Amino acid sequence: MKRFIIVLIPLVALAALIVWRFEAKNKEAVQQTQQRIARVKAAPVVSVAPAQERDLVQTFEGVGTVEAPFNVKIAPKITGRIDFLQVREGDHVNRGEVLVRIDPSEVEAQVRQKQAALAEAQSRLAQAAITQNPTNVSVTTQIRQQEAALASAQADYNQVRQNYAAQKAAAQAAVTDAQGKVDSAAAAIANAQAAQRSAQANLDNARAKYNRIYDLYKQGFVAAQDVDDARTAMNVQQSAVDVAQGQLKAAQAAHDSAIAQKQAAQHEADIVTTKGKADIEAARQRVVQARAALAYARANTAQKPAYQANLAALRSAVAAAQADLKNSEAQLAQTVLTSPINGFVTARAMDPGAMATPGQPILTVQEMRQVWVTVPVPEEVSRKIHLAQMASVALDGLPGRTFTGKIVQINPSADPMSRQFAARVLLDNPQFLIKPGMFARVTLETDRVHNALTVPREAIQQGPNGPMVLVVTATNTVERRPVTTGASDANNIAIMQGVQPGEKVVTLSAMPLKDGQAVRIAQNQAVSRKQ
């Protein structure tokens, strides 16, 4: 009996526990049902916002790229090997700082050659100037001598000895003149030989240069065009040698002709001497000859303009030599390349020892104290922006920071592919944080409506008859009102008709609302209103 009671007691306790748990579950279910019914019957909670007057700002946000306003490519004007180049990408350089030096040896040789040519031209001019005055005196003297000879022949027709002496003097003068021509021709031969040697030296120099460039071309350091240019220069110098040889032959021919003239003049003098001794009647001929000699001497006065023209030509040669020298000196100055701006090196295309060629960039230097942000804008936006307008710029590379600049350029021509106009915004960059090539987001104000009655965009609903809003009245009931909307921005929209300033409109509701339905304003907004 005791054993039965011991077993029965735990069973009874277990049964009592089960009954108690079952009754607690039923009571909890009843409470949840009652709460659900209360929630269904309770007024829904809504978020509201007041209709208020504010400025509506319409903006355009475009994607642009940061650019440097000054992007200078440092390129030489001459060909040569780079001797000095130390700056690299990221280095800061100042205006006037030496960046590149090119081997100046070849250009220096050209300068010395042009200096020698200038000295030679100046020497020729000085010699011609010295010779001019004695020549003028000689011409005048010859005229007077012939006048005297003519007067003597006419005064003393029978004085054979005097006429003979005069004729002999005239013949000797002709021989002397022929001798002068021989000497002049010999000087011309010397000049032609010098010109031939100079042309041959230039040819040897061009041939050596061609061989050097051809060796470099076989090693792959220069282009085939450089080899062709060197070959052409060598051919030109070969032609110069041929011309110099032709000039030398012409000078030798002139020398031979002058010798022949001298021999002829000497022969003429012998004939005059023989005739003077043989025939006294030659006196009349001597008078005629004296007159002819006088006319010839007077004709020699035409040499003055020729000498003046020769001096002018020599002065022009000196000026040309000076111009050539200045050109070579300018090329020598081009062997040193300096920075034209203050900025940073952003690209380096060559290294020391490389061959620089005209027009091929060696370095790129960009000014970054101020930068441009170039942003394309559609046609309809381009009509609403203007120069000096402020713009807001955000950079992905500098998160959390916004920069303000102004529009400094608007391209009047649209891009033919995108049909958009490029606008440039200038930003100050004193700390060089903004780098060319950065991705930028530019915000431009395109329109502004002052003191417009606005509500949040989410408060506008589309009804069967157009846009409407849900206005919360003073009794916390909902009133549907049709409205007339106007301009808008990213967050708000203008209400032209249907809502008064200060009225509250529903912006968020957990369930659809009916006209006249009671609502509860969200607790945080209610507390805010009480405060």
Q: Where are the domains of the chain?
A: 42-68+368-531, 70-102+336-364, 105-332
Say which CATH topology domain 42-68+368-531 has: Elongation Factor Tu (Ef-tu); domain 3 (2.40.30)
Other residues' Cβ atoms within 10 Å of the Cβ of residue 182: 20
Residue 200 has pLDDT above 80, yes or no: yes
Specify whether the CB–CB gap between 420 and 376 falls below 8 A: yes
Specify whether the CB–CB gap between 464 and 426 falls below 8 A: no
Q: What whole-number distance in Å separates Cα of residue 376 and Cα of residue 65?
A: 10
Give the H or E element holding residue 345.
strand 343-348
- What pLDDT does 173 receive? 80
Residue 252 has pLDDT above 60, yes or no: yes
- What pLDDT does 404 receive? 92
What integer is the mean pLDDT of 110-131?
82
What integer is the mean pLDDT of 243-259?
83
Residue 147 has pLDDT above 60, yes or no: yes
The neighbouring-strand residues paired with 467 are 462
pTM over 0.85: no
Q: Among the listed ranges 84-88, 322-326, 481-485, which one has the minimum average pLDDT value?
A: 322-326
Name the residue with higher pLDDT: 43 or 276.
43
Specify whether the CB–CB gap between 81 and 353 falls below 8 A: yes
Q: What whole-number distance in Å separates Cα of residue 212 and Cα of residue 227?
A: 9
Residue 133 has pLDDT above 60, yes or no: no
Tokens describing residue 468: 């409407």
DSSP conformation class of 477: B
What CATH number should be reported for the domain whose range is 70-102+336-364? 2.40.50.100
Phi first, then psi: give them for residue 285, nearest 5 degrees. Answer: -65, -35
Q: Among the listed ranges 19-23, 212-216, 512-516, which one has the minimum average pLDDT value?
A: 19-23
Angle between helices 160-218 and 224-278 (to 10 degrees): 170
Other residues' Cβ atoms within 10 Å of the Cβ of residue 139: 18
Model confidence at 440, in pLDDT bands (50, 70, 90)?
very high
What CATH number should be reported for the domain whose range is 105-332? 1.10.287
What integer is the mean pLDDT of 97-124?
85
